């Protein structure tokens, strides 16, 4: 039933409706704005201001890392090392967590929300193909999460450069490595989260259930992101790009399987 | 090649769920321009039938043709030509009435302007133009139903599946909707499958009815056909100006096609084999000296039929006339 090209008009119609609904919901928009501002702007700014204190000794911290990885830090003048470590490396995980969170929250509502609002049956009786509905619901989660990550990063660059200016006397962000992280890895991680959450949303009967069940599945990804991203940044642009490739491959696998598993027959049989 | 005469043709359509068989070997047809009433209590299989015929569910067994297409393999094409009103209006409360229609119009391939124009016209037709730009959240059941009906008609479908279209409507709105459905079929040649609990509504609109109980089709045809199937006799009320005398009743009882005769305050109630036997009864009355003022055949109404079918389905033999 889902052969052929994508029906862009149908996808746009669903996108338009769902993004408008998101825009109208304070309960969704406020956390989507406030949490990224806190995590991506205020928190890094505070930490960056604290990192201007040159009395903090980072040698012990750096000594715990493999010597090859610390070169991007230790190769800098001593007064720049702390602020570059903090703003250039330690806050990086936040830029994976935030799009993952945003995509998970929105995607949890994808089909479970339609069931909860009793609009799913009407949707299934419309001529949109199964695959178009699935793709539309993926994009509804993907676009805002990437937008939040990219806009958040643009703001972060301004704030980080301002905070670091007294020490650096020049803008030091964005770098090629950050570009790879934000433009390549962060959308991939969001797509992985979506691949999980949309499928969860298909199976459960309401958004709350989707977020509880989905949270349990997505949480290990968050932990992985927190634990590994700084190390990844220290490892360099090439490894970061490769990790992005792996994340995209996983996202593609999850979503292709998801699209195959999603049929209106299954959805209707659970109504 | 012309369009097939039948809008719907299904043969042995069967669908089960883990909870049991929802529809068991349904065989029926719906002619183009016909209104078919699908009757039955909750859980009878009406909604499952609608979903199967619109390609939303896949049958376990059996075949169906809807507007000349297989609803399962050509579901998208079928759904482009059908309009559905689900039992729950299924409107998104976060949007206005017009926005709900616009979304469906866009999803059906209309441009935004066209969808809004057509949606506006339909809302006006249903007396909802003053609420077009109000969010659905505060709407009454009747208002929701009218918006949902407008949505089902947005693309001028050839075939309409209407699940309880008048539930929750006030009497005036019910009358309007019933008239509208009637005119869709009679004036515009649209085919309508009407799932309803309201027998009066079905009686006014439908030329044939299909009665389902627990997924099984127990009766299908015109009310007259169903009555013939259920009852071997039908009743005639004779107005004789006064209660029929004993000798007259005895004489009527001797007539071959008369199954029984009972006095009433103004004459007699006579059970006959068929309508053609009425002249012989009248002649017998006249021959006996009685004056016949009126002969009123008493056809069973839809309620009589429905409850007789229900009783038969439940295993009770519905014997005799209603």
Check CB contact under 8 Å for B103 and A16: yes
Residue pair B104/B156 in contact by the 8 Å Cβ criterion = no
User: For domain B232-298, which architecture applies?
Assistant: 2-Layer Sandwich (3.30)
Is the ipTM of this structure higher than 0.90?
A: no
Q: What's the pLDDT at B321? A: 43
Instruction: Walk across the sheet containing B159-163 and list its strands.
Output: B82-85, B159-163, B191-196, B35-39, B208-213, B216-221
**Which residues belong to CATH 3.30.70 in chain B?**
232-298
Q: What is the crossing angle of helices B141-153 and B171-186, to 10°?
A: 10
> Residue A54's pLDDT band (boundaries 50, 70, 90)?
low
Count, residues in chain B: 322
C-beta of residue A76 within 8 angstroms of C-beta of residue A187: no
Average pLDDT over residues A153-167: 88
Of A9, A20, A125, nearest to B54 by CB-CB distance is: A125
**Mean of pLDDT values over B123-138:** 92
Nearest by CB to A121, which of B17, B90, B93?
A: B90
List, for residues A6-20, the tens digit of each pLDDT value: 889 999 999 999 999
| Structural contact between residues B235 and B314, judged by C-beta atoms closer than 8 angstroms | no
Within chain B, which residue ranges are assigned CATH 3.40.50.300? 6-221
For the domain made up of B6-221, the CATH class stated in words is: alpha beta
For an interface test with B, the pick among A6, A269, A270, A271 (most B C-beta atoms closer than 10 Å) comes out as A269
Interface contact B84-A122, CB threshold 8 A: yes
- Rounded CA-CA distance A137/A115 in Å is 14
Beta strands in A116-213 (DSSP E): none
pLDDT greater than 60 at residue A1: no
Query: How far B41 CA sits from the closest chain A CA (Å)?
Result: 18
Residues of chain B above pLDDT 90, percent = 52
Residue with tokens 């976060």: B94
The answer to whether A198 and A137 are in contact (CB under 8 A) is yes
What percent of chain A is predicted at pLDDT more than 90? 29
Are A16 and B106 spatial neighbours (Cβ–Cβ below 8 Å)?
A: yes
Residue B317's pLDDT is 40
- Whether the per-residue pLDDT at A55 is higher than 80: the answer is no
- Residues 6 or more apart whose CB falls under 8 angstroms from that of A120 comprise A111, A114, A267, A271, B90
* Averaged pLDDT score across all residues of chain B: 88
Q: Rounded to whole angstroms, how far apart are CA atoms A197 and A255?
A: 10
Task: State percent of chain A over pLDDT 70.
Answer: 91
CA atoms within 13 A on the CB side of B29: 8
Residue A3 has pLDDT above 60, yes or no: no
Q: Over chain A, what is the mean pLDDT?
A: 84
Is A41 a residue whose pLDDT tops 70?
yes
Position A5 pLDDT exceeds 90: no
Q: Contact A56/A82 with Cβ under 8 angstroms?
A: yes
pLDDT tens digits along B91-120: 999 999 999 999 999 999 999 999 999 999
Of A17, A118, A125, the CB nearest to B79: A125
pLDDT tens profile A93-122: 888 888 888 888 888 777 888 888 899 999
The 10s digit of each residue's pLDDT in A182-191 is 999 999 999 9
Taking the model in full, what pTM does it have? 0.81
Which of A148-152, A218-222, A266-270, B117-121 tops mean pLDDT?
A: B117-121
Q: What is the SS3 assignment for B218?
A: strand
Residues B30-45 have pLDDT tens digits of 999 999 999 988 889 9
């Amino acid at each position: 039933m889902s052969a052929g090209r994508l029906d862009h008009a149908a996808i746009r119609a669903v996108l338009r409706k769902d993004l408008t609904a998101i825009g109208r919901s304070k309960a969704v928009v406020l956390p989507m704005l406030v949490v990224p501002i806190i995590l991506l702007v205020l928190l890094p700014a505070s930490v960056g201001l604290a990192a201007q204190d040159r009395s903090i000794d980072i040698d012990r911290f750096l000594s715990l890392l493999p010597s090859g990885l610390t070169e991007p830090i230790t190769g800098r003048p001593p007064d720049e090392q702390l602020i570059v470590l903090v703003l250039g490396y330690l806050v990086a995980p936040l830029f994976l967590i935030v799009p993952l969170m945003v995509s998970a929250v929105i995607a949890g509502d994808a089909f479970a929300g339609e069931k909860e609002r009793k609009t799913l049956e009407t949707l299934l009786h419309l001529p949109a193909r199964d695959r178009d509905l699935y793709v539309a619901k993926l994009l509804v989660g993907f676009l805002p999460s990437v937008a939040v990550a990219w806009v958040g990063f643009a703001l972060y660059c301004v704030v980080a450069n301002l905070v670091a200016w007294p020490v650096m006397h020049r803008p030091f962000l964005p770098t090629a490595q950050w570009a790879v992280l934000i433009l390549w890895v962060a959308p991939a991680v969001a797509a992985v989260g979506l691949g999980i959450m949309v499928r969860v949303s298909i199976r459960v009967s309401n958004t709350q259930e989707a977020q509880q069940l989905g949270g349990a599945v997505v949480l290990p990804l968050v932990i992985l992101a927190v634990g590994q991203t700084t190390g990844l940044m220290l490892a360099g642009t090439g490894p970061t790009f490769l990790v992005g490739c792996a994340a995209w491959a996983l996202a593609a696998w999850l979503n292709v399987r998801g699209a195959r598993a999603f049929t209106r027959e299954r959805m209707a049989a659970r109504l | 090649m012309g369009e097939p005469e039948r809008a719907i043709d299904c043969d042995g359509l069967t669908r089960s769920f883990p909870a049991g068989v929802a529809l068991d070997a349904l065989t029926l047809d719906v002619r183009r321009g016909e209104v078919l009433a699908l009757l039955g209590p909750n859980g009878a299989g009406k909604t499952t039938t609608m979903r199967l015929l619109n390609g939303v569910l896949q049958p376990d067994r059996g075949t169906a043709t809807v507007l000349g297409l297989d609803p399962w393999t050509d579901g998208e094409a079928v759904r482009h030509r059908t309009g559905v009103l689900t039992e729950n209006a299924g409107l998104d409360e976060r949007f206005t009435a017009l926005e709900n229609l616009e979304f469906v119009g866009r999803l059906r391939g209309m441009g935004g302007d066209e969808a809004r124009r057509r949606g506006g016209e339909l809302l006006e037709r249903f007396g909802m133009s003053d609420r077009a730009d109000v969010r659905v959240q505060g709407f009454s059941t009747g208002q929701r139903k009218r918006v949902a009906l407008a949505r089902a008609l947005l693309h001028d479908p050839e075939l309409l599946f209407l699940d309880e279209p008048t539930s929750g409507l006030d009497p005036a709105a019910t009358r309007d909707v019933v008239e509208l459905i009637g005119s869709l079929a009679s004036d515009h040649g649209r085919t309508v499958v009407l799932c309803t609990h309201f027998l009066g509504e079905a009686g006014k609109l439908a030329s044939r009815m299909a009665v389902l109980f627990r997924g099984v089709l127990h009766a299908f045809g015109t009310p007259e056909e169903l009555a013939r199937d259920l009852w071997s006799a039908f009743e005639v009320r004779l107005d004789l100006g006064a209660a029929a005398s004993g000798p007259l009743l005895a004489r009527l009882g001797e007539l071959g096609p008369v199954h029984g005769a009972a006095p009433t305050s103004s004459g007699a109630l006579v059970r006959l084999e068929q309508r053609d036997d009425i002249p012989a009864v009248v002649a017998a009355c006249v021959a006996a000296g009685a004056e016949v003022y009126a002969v009123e055949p008493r056809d069973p109404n839809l309620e009589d039929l429905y409850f007789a079918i229900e009783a038969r389905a439940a295993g009770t033999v519905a014997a005799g006339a209603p």
